[in-house]
Amino acid sequence: MKHLGTGQIETARLVLRKFDALDAQAMFDNWASDSEVTKFLVWPSHKSVEVSGSILSDWIKSYSDEKFYQWAIVLKENGNEPIGSISVVHMNEEIDMVHIGYCIGRRWWHKGITSEAFKGIIPFLIEKVGVKRIESRHDPRNPNSGKVMLKCGLQYEGTLRNADTNNQGICDAAMYALLSEDYYMSK
């Protein structure tokens, strides 16, 4: 892979950009403090805006690493305020694989925004970075996350039983992936 770091990406309705320190309040208010948003995630909901600020500080420092990919999801009609995030949460360079994680504020669920963000990073990751496999997973008790993956062209590969943990405890992991060869064949 030829790592390029978190660059700005635009879609029809969204700007995917780096976070900055001024995003802490929006992060806290729009998604990170909502236990319903974090229900099936691996990190707990934030108890204060200071927690959000501390995490953003770490991410901002990490932007100097070209292997770090963490985008703020900004709805153009909202100005510059982030409403969620999408990122590479794991990678395996031996097989040119990235694992994508995402979350978005509850007010923006079921509007196609997460799918649009995910679709927005796929060409960048495959065509520019040289990723051969994009994968993602979800707890089967959160089927809407799987619908996002399917809308983005990932294929369901199976469910690993008791293979993961999240804020609900030990859980199954429904696995999805898009291979670069499938991506290019569908173009």
Alpha helices in 140-179 (DSSP H): 143-151
Q: pLDDT at position 187, please?
A: 76
- d(Cα 126, Cα 134) in Å, to the nearest integer? 8
Q: Which domains does the chain have, with CATH numbers?
A: 9-132 (3.40.630.30)
For the beta carbon of residue 78, count every other beta carbon within 10 angstroms: 15
> Which residue type sits at 22?
L
Pairing of strands 97-104, 133-138: parallel
**pTM listed for this prediction:** 0.96
pLDDT digits (tens, 9 = 90+) for 122-135: 999 999 999 999 99
d(CA 7, CA 46): 26
